[in-house]
Structure 1
Amino acid sequence: MQEESPLRLGILGAARIALGGIIPAADRSPAVEVTAVASRGGDKRDTIADAAPGARVLEGYEALLQSEDVEAVYIPLPNSLHAEWTMKALSAGKHVLCEKPFALDPEEAAEAVEKARGSGLALMEGFMYRFSPQTERLAEIASGGEIGTVRQAVAEFGHRLDDPSDVRGVGSLGGGALGDVGCYCVSGLRLLFGSEPSGASARARFDGEGSDAADREISGILEFESGFGTISCGLDSARRESLTVTGTEGRATLRAPFRPDKSGGEILLTRGDETTTETFEPGDPYRLELEDFAGAVREGRDPAVGPGEILGNARALGELLASARSGGSPQPIQPAT
């Protein structure tokens, strides 16, 4: 049986996550080959060549989209450019793996999903944590009855972002706590409840006035059919990262849920008076993410974090942000149509 050729991947931009995460992961996998990297800044050519010595270095994103040897595109651009360049890549006939958050605007997400589905192209959001064994185990605990029916879940993710020029904190570029780390929290809550929320409310501290102000600290509640999910995230506080789910019969907490590539994780599972601990080694979630994406392309299926996940997260994120900008007014979340 002949092995399938690796997916020929092009990368838009020389973002840190591309150079330090995706390109090394592709080197570790036979399923993906980085064919080309495009940059708008000539001073990054040597850096790109060092990170991806086998790839062509192109000047300008459009040049990459027109390259016939590129089958799929990875987009690690600032948040505000995700939907725009996804649409351009899909229009060029390329499959797309876009970094998280795909969009904070659910309408942009819906437009891209419709385009991908209509074109028969794979579309995936880059939540690599979903491919770690510790995430799979926590989801199993929540859905398999080990703690009963899920009633509450709390997701925390925050860190200090002191550089004012860092795009992750620039509101005009889609930056802010919700887009940088809160999107992980929302994704985790949706995974634990196994459903979509019907309502959202949030309060935030912004770095200014108007729609371009970035949320620096934000807390919110998502209402699910069986209970409530709480997020707590920020860019101005000490690092925190945990995911706890509480059911009618017990509770489970996963430490370091969203960056399993750094230190591995630990699940504390409590039922009654008994607490057990499960530990996990640092995994290779970026490689597994790429391999799922490549498999989706070759098999003609949706990726694990595909259109349905993209729409669900974008709807929840959009309404949390709308609530925070309105001073905490509850916002309904429209169900998928």
Structure 2
Amino acid sequence: MSNPIRFGVLGGAQFALNHMARAIHEAEGAEFTALATSSMAKAAPFQAFCPGLKVFTDYDAMLASDEIDAVYIPLPNHMHVEWSLKALAAGKHVLCEKPIAMKAAEIDALIAKRDETGLLAAEAFMIVHHPQWARVKEMLAAGEIGDLIRVDVAFSFDNPDLDNIRNKPGTGGGAMGDIGVYAIGSVRFATGQEPEAITSANITYENGVDVTSAFTARFAGFDYSAYVSMRMSPFQEVRFHGRRGVITVKTPFNAGTYGSAEVQIRAANGVTRIETFPTVRQYVVQVENFVHSARDGADYPWSLENARGTQAVIDAVFDADQG
């Protein structure tokens, strides 16, 4: 059996505790080896499910360790590029939370460092690792709903806590960075197309961050409409409307927590079939795909170039806002 990829987690973020650190611990071929945090109180719940976990009180010390092969970075958004570059320079593979950068141009330095080192560097865009999105992509490519005419995306939750980093401009907060990446990246992934133009954008700000954004775009073959919000009741759905049918992804982003992974395909004659994916754990699959790519050279489904493409669209939405 090949040696496991030994992961260090950079920071004791709640998301890492609840999702990604556990996924690393459970994924085949991965080993949750170390955590870097200055707070032993934050380290304790990680050690509870991973006995023997090594804790570093200094980020740089963990990066310098020979016991670490890869680093998962769940730090606040504005720190992603800096610490991804430091990890690559230290000879570690990098899996960094989204958005991996605050501007598309910032990703160029990561691409250059990845190419220089030959290491794997990727944004943790977990949905592309879920088989429901592979199926949607396959069905669209096969023309199962005929010519695609329109795509509609909705993603919202309610987070009024101004102490949360998502509501702080200094930490790269805002709805577009946090969940706009899903509204845009999922459609780019599924269709393989890029928007030709942002045709409208309306962004609402509170406390210096964007909290609700509604925007439209024109792709080569279809119209696109989306809204994302941190001030609305939780909801998520993606709908692909074609000439001969409609594909609806009922839990497109938080499969297993918001709801069950389910893809509905309704034909023009009203006949509907449903494909479900009840046992898939997308965070675990993401880690296993990362391991196969870093260790075995397998293709990885979401490159830095893919992440840059999504961030470029986000940049364009901000530029198009008329507010």
1:267 equivalent among 251, 263, 270: 263
Structure 1 residues 177-196: aligned runs within 5 Å: 177-196=175-194
Q: C-alpha displacement at 1:193, in angstroms? A: 2.1
Other-structure match for 1:13: 11
2:240 equivalent among 245, 252, 257: 245
1:123 equivalent among 121, 126, 145: 121
1:45 equivalent among 40, 43, 46: 43
Task: Answer whether contact 1:123 1:302 (CA < 8 A) is retained.
Answer: no
Task: Answer whether contact 1:75 1:97 (CA < 8 A) is retained.
Answer: yes
Task: Answer whether contact 1:76 1:98 (CA < 8 A) is retained.
Answer: yes
Do structure 1's residue 33 and structure 2's residue 31 form an aligned pair? yes
Most deviating of 159-168 and 264-273? 264-273
Do structure 1's residue 321 and structure 2's residue 318 form an aligned pair? yes
Other-structure match for 2:253: 258
Q: Deviations over 1:207-240 (max 9, x none)?
A: 14xxxx2101001123321122222110111111
Alignment: residue pair count: 320
Q: Deviations over 1:284-334 (max 9, x none)?
A: 11111001101111123552112221121121122212323xx26xxxxxx
2:231 equivalent among 236, 252, 276: 236
Q: Distance in 1 between matches of 2:73 and 2:194?
A: 26
Q: Distance in 2 between matches of 1:70 and 1:31?
A: 14
Task: Answer whether contact 1:23 1:51 (CA < 8 A) is retained.
Answer: no
User: Which amino acid in the other structure matches residue 205 of structure 1?
Assistant: T
Q: Deviations over 1:237-281 (max 9, x none)?
A: 111100111122221111111011323222221221223131331
Structure 2: 5+ residue runs without aligned partners?
A: none
Q: Distance in 2 between matches of 1:164 and 1:275?
A: 46
Other-structure match for 2:202: 203
- Partner SS state of residue 221, structure 2: coil
Structure 1 stretches of at least 4 aligned residues deviating more than 6 Å after TM superposition: none
1:64 equivalent among 62, 71, 92: 62
1:91 equivalent among 55, 80, 89: 89
Most deviating of 140-149 and 293-302? 293-302
- Partner SS state of residue 274, structure 1: coil
Q: Distance in 2 between matches of 1:76 and 1:223?
A: 33
1:175 equivalent among 167, 173, 176: 173
Task: Answer whether contact 1:157 1:240 (CA < 8 A) is retained.
Answer: yes
Task: State the identity as a percent.
Answer: 30
Other-structure match for 1:298: 295
User: Which amino acid in the other structure matches residue 305 of structure 2?
Assistant: G
User: Which amino acid in the other structure matches residue 295 of structure 1?
Assistant: H
User: Which amino acid in the other structure matches residue 281 of structure 1?
Assistant: P
TM-score, scaled relative to structure 2? 0.94
Q: Distance in 2 between matches of 1:151 and 1:104?
A: 31
Other-structure match for 2:71: 73
Other-structure match for 1:149: 147
Task: Answer whether contact 1:65 1:92 (CA < 8 A) is retained.
Answer: yes
Do structure 1's residue 312 and structure 2's residue 309 form an aligned pair? yes
User: Which amino acid in the other structure matches residue 161 of structure 2?
Assistant: D
Q: Distance in 1 between matches of 2:68 and 2:75?
A: 18
Q: Distance in 1 between matches of 2:79 and 2:279?
A: 31
Structure 1: 5+ residue runs without aligned partners?
A: 329-337
Q: C-alpha displacement at 1:282, in angstroms? A: 4.7
Q: C-alpha displacement at 1:27, in angstroms? A: 2.8
Q: Distance in 2 between matches of 1:227 and 1:137?
A: 20
- Partner SS state of residue 143, structure 2: coil
Q: Deviations over 1:111-135 (max 9, x none)?
A: 1112112210101111212222222
TM-score, scaled relative to structure 1? 0.90
Q: Deviations over 1:63-105 (max 9, x none)?
A: 1111111111000111111111111111111110011111230
Structure 1 residues 155-170: aligned runs within 5 Å: 155-170=153-168
Q: Distance in 1 between matches of 2:255 and 2:262?
A: 10
Task: Answer whether contact 1:75 1:98 (CA < 8 A) is retained.
Answer: yes
Most deviating of 220-229 and 83-92? 220-229
Most deviating of 236-245 and 150-159? 150-159
User: Which amino acid in the other structure matches residue 86 of structure 1?
Assistant: S
Q: C-alpha displacement at 1:143, in angstroms? A: 1.7
Q: C-alpha displacement at 1:30, in angstroms? A: 2.5
